[in-house]
Amino acid sequence: MKLTIKKILEITDGSLLCGDDEIIIESYSKDTRTLKENDCYVGIKGENFDGNKYWEEAKKKGASAAILDVFQGSLDDEEDFPIIIVEDSIKAIQALASYVRTHLDIPVIAVTGSAGKTSTKDMIASVLSEKYNVYKTPGNLNGQIGLPLNILSVKDEEMMVLEMGMNGFGMIEALTQIAEPDVAVITNIGTAHIGILGSRENILKAKLEILDGMKKNSPVIINKDNDLLSTLKLEDHPIITCGITSPSDYQATNVKIGINETSFDIKIGEEQETITLPMMGEVFVSNALLAIAVGKQFGLSLKEIKKGLESVSISGNRMEIVPLKDHITLINDTYNSNFEALENALTILAEYPGKRKIAVIGDMLEMDDYAEEIHRKVGKLPLMKQFDFVLLFGENSKYIKEELAHQEGVIHFATLEELKTFIYNTLQSNDTILMKASKAMHFKELADELEEKLKENK
């Protein structure tokens, strides 16, 4: 949506340090590395950096203006470059996004949950794209900064699919007040952020903040196979249920897991289809059912929905199957981790063919007082006995080691370098290796290096 500098000043209660207030802004960027010509640069101060320092670099790269909450530098040659000073850059882009949202007459589908948000968002967008021009959250830019920038990025799209993340109370409330969803999708309620919120019941309460920005009678689509969601009752919103094991409005039957694909049957009224997803695992069927329910809300036929699901592309580092040389297979699920997501990944590893199966597991973070209990719960999973090696790294992963003390091939490493050396010295032809940990454990870099060293065509 096009806004003049003058209008931006009005919305953000900002002041113009210099430049022309009639200049029109249509796009925004907080990162000089990806900034495009004519973007308005937004300087945001983080824990380890201060984006306010980089407005001059943004200008050199073609930015049309800058929004800063602290000005640093000189105004010698800035007469034609608008610099807007606001009290708080994050609150400023949230105010802009809220204004833009109220002037966009398009549906918004909001997706939240403890796990599977991104793959569900990708599936919903792929389904809806069979009939509409859809904007979706890129990657996982789903927080207090990412979501507003997403809304500000919408141009001529006919609907938005927005992911909403949180790690405490009040966060989704703030996001939903900006996005004003027409449909809410809740994937599951697990243990992610349990150390902050204290219980799964509190996690559900935090996720249900999504209702605060919705109109009365707007539908909420849930995974009924999740224990906490299965008993959910809402006064002001109809609940649409999806499930595999639980009787639901949208129910999958005859689920079959193959190599790098999963198929299931679904019948809706007189429509019936077998859908084959281009990824492996029952969890993706649960996510696909949520996408089917959204598709039917917006008038798609089951054939159109099938086409969208069968051509979906999931964002990277999420159960990504990577063939390496010597018929080694890497399952790269390094984006993040919690108990439910880890159990799903381990289930897929157990079902995957290969001479040997190697589980490389790092700490699940943000567990606080629950860290020991949840990591021990991983070690107690019966499927852990199916792996030839269980390679562990992190302070809390030692509890998994203790639960598997009498199992051969279970090793806890003190450093990532030791883990990496062991992997390179141990991998053999036809092995399948899973890597899974919370983002701060740096398993993504480990997986990327392995992929680079063992490329199939190298």
| CB 279, CB 332: distance < 8 Å | no
Alpha helices in 330-393 (DSSP H): 339-351, 371-379
Confidence (pTM) = 0.90
User: What long-range pairs does 233-239 form, CB within 8 A, spacing at least 24?
Assistant: 236/211, 237/184, 237/211
Q: Which of 303, 262, 304, 258 is nearest to 283 (CA)?
A: 262
Q: What is the dihedral of CA 349, 354, 356, 362, to 10 degrees?
A: -30
Q: Which helix (H) or strand (E) holds 402?
A: helix 398-403
Angstrom CA distances, 102 to 3, 171, 375, stand at 14, 20, 44
Domains with residue ranges and CATH for the chain: 3-87 (3.40.1390.10), 104-310 (3.40.1190.10), 320-453 (3.90.190.20)
Q: Which residues contact 366 (CB under 8 A, 6 or more apart)?
A: 167, 192, 193, 194, 195, 196, 438
Question: What is d(CA 282, CA 264) in angstroms, rounded to the nearest whole number?
Answer: 9
Task: Note down pLDDT in tens along the chain; length 458 residues.
Answer: 899 999 999 999 999 999 999 999 999 999 999 999 999 999 999 888 899 999 999 999 999 999 999 998 877 766 789 999 999 999 999 999 999 999 999 999 999 998 889 999 999 999 999 999 999 988 778 889 999 999 999 999 999 999 999 888 999 999 999 999 999 999 999 888 888 888 999 999 999 999 999 999 999 999 999 999 999 999 999 999 999 999 999 999 999 998 889 999 999 999 999 999 999 989 999 999 999 999 999 999 999 999 999 999 887 777 888 999 999 999 999 988 989 899 999 999 998 988 899 999 999 998 888 999 999 999 999 999 999 999 999 999 999 999 999 999 999 999 999 999 999 999 999 999 999 999 899 999 999 999 998 886 55
Please return the burial class of 31, using the count of CB atoms within 10 Å of its CB with bins 0-12, 13-18 and 19+. Answer: middle
Question: What is d(CA 423, CA 181) in angstroms, rounded to the nearest whole number?
Answer: 46
Alpha helices in 325-370 (DSSP H): 339-351
Question: Which residues, listed in sequence order, are joined to residue 223 by a DSSP beta bridge?
Answer: 242
